[in-house]
Every structure is written in C-alpha cells, then in structure tokens.
Structure 1
Amino acid sequence: MKKITSGGLTLLTYVIAILFFFPILWIFITGFKTESEAINIPPSLFFKPSLENFQIVWEAGIGGFFANSVFVTLASTVIALLLGVPAAYALALLKVKHKDDILFWIISTRFLPIAGIIIPLYLLFKNVNLLDSLLALILLYAGMNIPLIIWMMRSFFNDVSFEIIEATQVDGASGLQAFFQVVLLLVRPGLVSTALLSMVFAWNEFFFAVSLSYTNAATLPVYMASYMTQEGLFWAKMSAAASISILPVIILGWFTQRQLVRGLTMGAVKG
C-alpha cells in the first residue's frame, strides 16, 4: 500500500507539474508557427517549425527592450535589497518601538490599487523630467518590492537565534560584522529566494512600464503589447517575443531551484 500510495502521489505531482507548465510550452510551440497556423481551430499539432517569427521580433528591436528589462530589474532589485534587508533585520532582531505598527504600515502600501496612484505618479515624474526614463522605473520597482523583501526577510531573520548574535559580540564582533559575516550567511537561501521573487515581479511588471515609458525606457512587456493592433492579435510573433521574455526567468529559476526551495521552507511562508 505504501508503494502504491507513493507511486500515486508521484504520478499526481507530475500531472500537476505538466498542467502548470503546459501554457508555457504552448506559447513556445506557437512561436514556431505561422500566423495562420497559430489561430487554427482546432490547433495545429503537426506543422513545419520556422524561426521566422523569432527573426522578425529580433530585427524589430526586441534586443533594446530586453536590455532595458534586464537593467531595470537588476538595479531595482539591488536597491530594494539594500534598503529592505537591513530594515527586516532591525524589525526582526532589534528592539524597535511600535514594531507591529511599522510592519502593518509597510504592508499597507501594497493595498493601494495601482490605477489609483498612476496619475499622481505620472505628474510627479513629469515635473522632475523623469518620464520615459529607466530611473523612474527603477525607483518604482524598488519601492514596489521593498515591502515584499521586508516581510519575507523578517520571517527568515526570526528563525535566527539571538544568542548567536550575542556570542559574536562577546567574541569582539561589532553589530555590522555580526550582520554581514554571520546572520546573512545563515539566511542566504532566504535571501536568494527573496531576490529571485523580487526580480520576477520587476521583470513581469506592465502597468507602470506602459504608463510611464513609451520609447526610451520601454521594457519587454510593453514591446509584447505592440502586437495587439487594430488589425488583430499577431499570436505567433507575440508568442515568439513571450518565449524570449520567459526564457531568462526559467533559466534563473532552474539554476537557483535548490536555494529557492530551501529558502521557502525556512519560513518565508510564515506569518
């Protein structure tokens, strides 16, 4: 019975994994079809693959949008980590007055509907000449991810025994030395998983990008939306662009899967 149960759970796991991965696989396959084959009903399961769509989107300048996405994602994640990780450490292990109120205020900033704040943000960036600039998106994405980083990293820091920090201080280490040389090493898997999730959120963000950038700072999601025209949807070309956009995230997740799983089981899903 144990073998049957184990085999059944394994089979169920594979089925669920295939169901979740199938939309990504279908997008990738559609990128190799012609436009007529991409909209066939029922779908064309047998066709002659072609790289024409990938060539078209590359010649149309997707490389520039890709570079913008990479730069904005990396820069905003680094800034968010530099600000969010020390804040999470202080809120988890140091004596801070009104800690619960601060934490609630931080997470409450995520309650705001994006559509409700886009006009003030547009006017603000217009007045400081930051419209259609990478800096504007970097600042917005960093601010968007800081609450996520604080709450996730706080749960990881809560798993660190304060006695370890006291022991390092007894040995003569300063507070900064204990933080960088001991505590960060202990929560490294959590730090990796938090950074990866922040990068995914920044990489996929569309509303701010399409509202505040149009030429110089447009990112991959904005580029993909350009295939939604008055003439209709160019499914094959959009799928080719989406495949190029998805591939870096899949590769990054594949190489960091051990750290990601280990980090999420450390306490990132705790309250």
Structure 2
Amino acid sequence: MIEPVQVFWAPDGASMPTLGSRPLVDVTDGDTPNLRMPVRMLSVDTPEVTARGAERAAQIDEEFSQLAEWIHKGLAPISSELGEFLKPRLDSGQAGSLHFSQGQAASAFSKENIARRLARPGGQPRAMFIRVADSPFDSNHRLLAYLAPDYTEKERREFPKRLRPTFNLDLVTSGWAAPFIIYPDIPAADDLALLIEAAAGARADGLGIWANPQTLLAYEYRSMERLFDITKKKVNGQPLKVDERSWRERYCVDLRNRVLHGPEDYFGIDPEYRLWLWPADLRDAVARLNLTPSARLASGR
C-alpha cells in the first residue's frame, strides 16, 4: 500500500498533434525515444496548400470573387481601406488557384533546397541545426524554429552568416516566402537585417510569389478564408459563434519607426518591415519596444 502525498499540481502541458502512423524513429535508451514531429519555420510564411487539389482551389476562386462582391456592397465586416486594397486580388478569378500553385512551388523549392544543402559530395549528409524560439511551440503545438545545415565550428568561423543562411532565409531570398515576424520572436539585429534585405530584394526582382501582382500573402489568404465564412453567415442570416472581426487579430508595427497600427491597417507598411503582435502581447510589446500608436489607432478608428 502506498502512503498519501501532500503535493498536488496541475501541469500546464499541452498535447502534441498526431505525428502520423510512424512517429517513432528509434530509442536511444529507455527514457529517450526519438520522434518525428512537425516544425513551423520562424519568421517566414509560405503559400498554403490546404486546398489539397485544383478542384477545391477553383472553388476558392469563386468564394473569393463572391467575397469581393460582398466587400463592394459593404456587407463584409472589413474597413473600406483594406477592402479596396484586397478586392482586386480577391476578384481576379484565380485567387485560390494562384495561391495553391504558389504553395506547391514553395514546397518543391523547400524540399529540393534542403536536400541539396544537406548533401556532401561522396559523404554523409550534414545534420540539421535547429534553433527554437523563446516559446518553443505555437498554438498548434508545432516546434517553432530556425533550420540550417549544421556547420562545423571551423566553418562557422570562416563563413559569414550570409554564406550559410538558414532554410528560413532561403525561402525569403527565393521569393517563395514572405517575412512573417511575430513578437516576441524577433530575429537578432544581424539576422533581421539579412531577412529584410532578402525580402526587399525578392520583391523588387519579382521572384516567386512576388512575380504576380495578384498574389495574396499567406496570412492574407488565411484571413480571407475566415472573412468569407463570417460574411456568408451574415448574408444568410445565420448566427455567428465568433465576433465578426475575429478574422483578423494581430496588430502590426512598422519596424522602421516603431509605429503601432491596427489589425486592418498593416497594408500601408512594406511587407519586409512588418512586425506582428498578438493582442495578448500588446501591452508588453508597447512597453519593451517603446511603440507609438498610429494617429488612426489613437483616434479609435
């Protein structure tokens, strides 16, 4: 019979997502199994492939065209300024198909790039270097990390960061990812400079997603999916289970001047200079980064 204990604790742990049918790689010793797990690459955002196929992507073309019409008629809960900015992309007739094809291209680039950079001529492939965020998991319990080939100490001394970029930075340089920096996971000063330079260069040269002016960035695409669902229910007179403005949540800071903008005013900031804030982090970020609200935000508009 065991004796009673006097310590009671409720841990704050979280369940990890399903890792598939073969998550176990091997077991090092009794208490150290090695598992496969999903990683969300920090500071970058590639187009989504959640449509899964051309048929669903074509349906999204129609849904986004319908959303553009609702925005034009003032039926969607979105500011007129952001609505005007997004309408041409939503009403292009290819918003879903374009995004899906870009997502496939980004995925293909990432697979080829990782395989190529980990390869060693005639030898064992390099190991993977992983640097995690201050808070290592996102809301979907994916590991948040920067990934790169694992260089030797000698190589790190001889080659500057520019010549041994992370796979995250490669995606931005190629144009297949937009920068997506979310507070508090801000890159160090030298890494941030490389990211901004790469993003600005890819955008100026029309690489990857930047080749088509009708591109919806991945975070815009996801928010428009949510806005479509909300507006459809409003138009059909169905009750909403969420706030009608819940389709957009993050505030946006201009990295050049530390001005804080509302969730629907990000589009006035060049993509490479956007820093995103969750509402829960707003007070902390304002204090630590010495942010100033935009005139529009300060006026409550």
Task: Tell me the TM-score normalized by structure 1.
Answer: 0.27
Higher helix share: 1
Higher strand share: 2
State the structure with bigger RCO (CA 8 A, min sep 6), 1 or 2.
1
